Amino acid sequence: MLHRGIKFAHAVVLAFSATLSFLFLRSLDEDWALGHSAVVWVTDSDGAASGSQVAGVIAEFAAKNHATIAREVPDLKDPSHRRHLYLAPGGPHSDWLRDGYPAFSRGYHTDVHPVAELGQRDPRGFYYVFGPDAAAASLTRTLDDLGLVASVNQPFSLAQLTTVYADSALYRSFFVVALAVVTMTGASVLLNAKAYGVQRLQGKSFGQILLRDMRQLGAFWAVACAVVSAATLLLLGLYNGLAWIGQFASIALGCTVALSLIALVTHCAMLWLTFQTDVLRALKGELPARAASVSAYLVRIPALLLALSIATAVVLGAQDVLARQESREAYAKIGDATSIRFNGSLASDTALRSLDENVGPWLRQADRDGQIIVAGHRDLRLSAGIPGLTKGDLLVVNETFLTEQPVLDPAGRRIEPTAAAPDQIRLLVPEALAQHTGRLKELTPTWLSPSDPGKIAPAQVKTLPSKDGQRVFTYNPRGKSHAADNPGADDSLVTDPVIIVFPNGAPFLSDKGYTSYASQRSIVFHNPDDVTAGVEKRHLESYVTAMTPVGQDAALELRKVVGDFRLQLFNLAVAVAVLLITGVGVCIVHSRKNAQAIFARHISGWTFTATHRPVLLVEGVLAVLLAAWVPFQVWQQNQDAARYEALGIPAPRPTAEFTGLDLGVTGVLVAVEVAAVLVALVVFHRRIVKEGAAES
C-alpha cells in the first residue's frame, strides 16, 4: 500500500496551489488590470498634442488594429480601493464598457468609461493593450509620432514578477512548501522500506514497484483533485462569481505541476535508495545510511537557513503590527487629514521640473495659509554620519506641526509653536544628544535646503533642548523615507527625534523640497476640500492624481502588515516542521543501521553521548554553522562598507550590528534543532534497548 504520508504530501500540493493562486491573482488584480497583453507607459510629452487629441488617436488606433486600449487613472478620493479605466474598444474585452470590469479581488473596484471622457487630461500614464502582441509596439510608435515618450512594459512577465515578488511572503511560501513536500515524500518512502522489501522478495523490479505506486497515487489524485476543485469553485463562486477563472486555473495548474514534479522526483530517488540494500536487510527496514543521511541534510541545511530568515521576518513583522496598533489612537484624533499622491508617470527631468514649478508654489502658499502640516522624516544615523550615533530620527517640520503635536523642553514646558523672529529656524535636540548639538547645527542648512544651504546663515539657526523620552507623531504610517534597518516598518510614533522647525511657507524650504516631502506622504492637509479646491484653481490635475485620508492609509497598511505576518507565521510553522521531520529522519536512519551496535554499547556501559557520537557531532557542527550565519553576514556587510570607505565613497548603508533580536531568533532555532534530534535519539535509543532486552 502507498504510505499515507505520500498521499498527504500530494493533498498539500493541491490545496496549497489553489491557495497560492488565489492570493497571487488577488494581488495582481489590485496592482494591474488583468487580461492585458502589454502595458504602454507614457512618461513625457512635448505638449504638441492635447489630451483630447491623444484620446481620439487611441480610439482610431484600437478600431483599426482590432485591439482594445485602456488608460488607467487612479481615483482621486479613494486610490487604494478604486481605479478608472478609459476604454477604446476594438478587440478583446470591449464588452467591459457594457458589463463592467470583472474584478477578481472584492476589495478593489474598477470603473470603466469611454475613452472620450478623458477630455483634456494629461496623456502621461499607463495604457493597457488587450489584443495582438504587435499592437503594443505599434501603439508606442503612434504615440511617439504625437510627441510623447512611450515604452512597452510586460508587468506579468516572469522577469518582472520575480523582481516584484522576490522578497515577498508568497515567494517564500512556495519554497517552504516545496521543502515540506520533499521532506514528507522522502520520509514516507523511507518509512515504507519494509513494504518495498516484501515486494522485492516477491520478485518485483524497481519499475514495477514504481508503476504500482503511481497507479495508487493516480487513483488518490482523481478523488483529491475532484474534492479540491469542487471546493475551490464553490468558494470562488461565492467570492467573485468565478471571475478570471481561466487565469486562476492556469496559475494553480503551474504551481501544481511544479510541486508534483518535485514530489515525484523525490519519490523515485528515495525508492531507488531503498533498492541499494539487499532484500533481507530491506525486510528489516534498513537503509543505506550514508546516502539517506546525505539526502536528509540536503533538505535540512536549506530549511535551517530559510527558517532563520523567516523567523527574523516574523519577529520584525510582529513588532511592526504592535507598533501600528499602538499608533491607531493618534490617527483617530486627526480626523480627515489627507495626504496627496502625484502622477507616477512624471519620470523625465523636464516633467519633474514642471512638477516642482507648478505644485511647489501651491504647497508653499497652502503652508502660509495654515492648511498643511509638514512632517518630513529621515534616518538621523544615515543623514548625520556622526561616529557613535547608532540610531535616531530626524524630523523637518513647519510651525503648524508644533501647534498640533506638542514638544516639551527639559523642564516639561511646551515649546512655543511660533519662533521669536519670522526668519528663525529652530533646532530641537534631545538632552541625550546634547554633545552632538554643534554638528547637528552645522548640518541643519544642508538638511533643510540641500540645493542651496548657503542661503541659511548660522545665526538664523537657534538650538533648543527637548526633553528625553518623548514620543512624537509623524503622520506617516509608511516609515521613514531612508530607513536603514527594517525599511517600511511603522514609524508613526518616534522617540526623541531631532526636530528642525521652519516658519510656515518660508523660503528656507525650496519648491522641490515641498514636492519631495509631499511625494513621501509627509505633507498633510487638514481639510481634503483644500486639496480639491487648490487642484482645480491651479489646474494641477496632471500632477496630483489622488489623495488619501491619513487614517485610512494607516488602516490599510495595518491590514496589509497583518496579512503578511500571518503568511510568514505559516511559513515559519512549515519550515520548523521540515526541521523536525528531517531531524527525526536522520535519527531513524542512524538507529536502524546501528541498532545492534547501539544495544551492545548500552549493555557495555557506554554513555549516551559516546553511543551516538557521529550524529551528535554532525548536528553540533550544524548548530555552530547556524549560530555563526547571521554574524558572518553582518561581518560581510561591514567589509563591503569598509571597502567603500577606503575608496572615499559613502557607503550605501551604515555598518550593521548583531542585535539582541538576531541572537534571540538564532538561539531559538538552534535550540529547536538540537532538541528535536536529542529527543528523537532518546526515543529510538530506548526502543532499541527495550527490544534488545526482550529478544535476550
Average pLDDT of the residues in 218-222: 94
CA atoms within 13 A on the CB side of 161: 12
pLDDT at 368 over 70: yes
The string of pLDDT tens digits covering residues 87-119 is 999 999 999 999 999 999 998 999 999 999 988
Distance, CA of 253 to CA of 193 (rounded, Å):
31
For residue 687, give the C-alpha cell. Answer: 526502543
pLDDT at 483: 43
| Helix or strand (DSSP H, E) at 200 | helix 193-201
Q: For residue 605, give the amino acid letter.
A: G
Rounded mean pLDDT of the chain? Answer: 87
Average pLDDT of the residues in 575-583: 85
Distance, CA of 303 to CA of 293 (rounded, Å):
15
Distance, CA of 525 to CA of 363 (rounded, Å):
10
Phi, psi of 148 (to 5 degrees): -100, 150
- Out of 190-194, 246-250, 313-317, the most confident range is 246-250
pLDDT at 40: 95
User: Cα torsion at 331, 334, 336, 338 (round to 10°)?
Assistant: -80
pLDDT at 658: 63
Cβ atoms of 456 and 356 within 8 Å: the answer is: no
Task: List the strands of the sheet with 82-88, edge to edge.
Answer: 109-114, 82-88, 68-74, 125-130, 38-45, 148-153
- Residue 319: CB atoms within 10 Å: 14
Q: Which of 672, 327, 259, 361 lies closest to 492, judged by CA?
A: 327
Alpha helices in 486-612 (DSSP H): 511-519, 528-538, 550-593, 595-603, 608-611
pLDDT at 360 over 90: yes
Distance, CA of 292 to CA of 273 (rounded, Å):
7
pLDDT at 126 over 70: yes
pLDDT at 568 over 60: yes
The three-class DSSP label of residue 131 is coil
Cβ atoms of 148 and 54 within 8 Å: the answer is: yes
The three-class DSSP label of residue 109 is strand
Least confident of 82-86, 133-137, 592-596: 592-596
Question: Cell 488607467, residue?
Answer: 72
- Residue 67: CB atoms within 10 Å: 25
pLDDT at 366: 96
Average pLDDT of the residues in 143-156: 92
Average pLDDT of the residues in 15-32: 94
Say what the pTM is. Answer: 0.83
pLDDT at 481 over 50: no
- Residue 690: CB atoms within 10 Å: 11
Beta partners for residue 44, in sequence order: 149
pLDDT at 462: 94
Concatenated DSSP letters of 223-268: HHHHHHHHHHHHHHHHHHTTTTHHHHHHHHHHHHHHHHHHHHHHHH
Distance, CA of 6 to CA of 212 (rounded, Å):
14
For residue 379, give the C-alpha cell. Answer: 534616518
pLDDT at 656: 61
Q: Which of 486, 489, 483, 496 lies closest to 659, judged by CA?
A: 486
Average pLDDT of the residues in 682-690: 87
What is the C-alpha end-to-end distance of the chain, expressed in Å? Answer: 33
Cβ atoms of 209 and 196 within 8 Å: the answer is: yes
The string of pLDDT tens digits covering residues 170-207 is 888 999 999 999 988 988 888 788 888 888 888 889 99
Which of the pair, 503 or 291, is modelled with greater confidence?
503
Average pLDDT of the residues in 448-458: 86
Average pLDDT of the residues in 35-63: 90
Q: For residue 604, give the amino acid letter.
A: S
Least confident of 240-244, 292-296, 542-546: 292-296
The string of pLDDT tens digits covering residues 378-392 is 888 777 667 666 678
Residues near 290 by beta carbon (within 8 Å), at least 6 away in sequence: none
pLDDT at 216: 93
Cβ atoms of 320 and 483 within 8 Å: the answer is: no
Distance, CA of 461 to CA of 403 (rounded, Å):
20
pLDDT at 329: 86
Beta partners for residue 547, in sequence order: 340
- Residue 601: CB atoms within 10 Å: 17
From residue 627, alpha-carbon distances to 181, 301, 676 in Å are: 26, 13, 17
The string of pLDDT tens digits covering residues 390-404 is 678 999 999 999 999
Residues near 575 by beta carbon (within 8 Å), at least 6 away in sequence: 176, 179, 303, 306, 307, 310
pLDDT at 364: 96
pLDDT at 695: 66
Average pLDDT of the residues in 525-551: 92
From residue 480, alpha-carbon distances to 210, 383, 441, 483, 489 in Å are: 57, 12, 21, 5, 8
Cβ atoms of 40 and 127 within 8 Å: the answer is: yes
Beta strand pairing call for 68-74 and 372-379 = unpaired
Percent helix / strand / coil, the chain, rounded to 5? 60, 15, 25
Cβ atoms of 453 and 481 within 8 Å: the answer is: no
| Helix or strand (DSSP H, E) at 643 | helix 613-646
pLDDT at 536: 92
pLDDT at 38: 95
Q: Which of 389, 327, 396 lies closest to 367, judged by CA?
A: 396
Q: Which of 493, 530, 268, 494 lies closest to 393, judged by CA?
A: 494
What share of the chain has pLDDT > 90, as a percent?
48
What share of the chain has pLDDT > 70, as a percent?
93
pLDDT at 508: 92
Average pLDDT of the residues in 558-583: 87
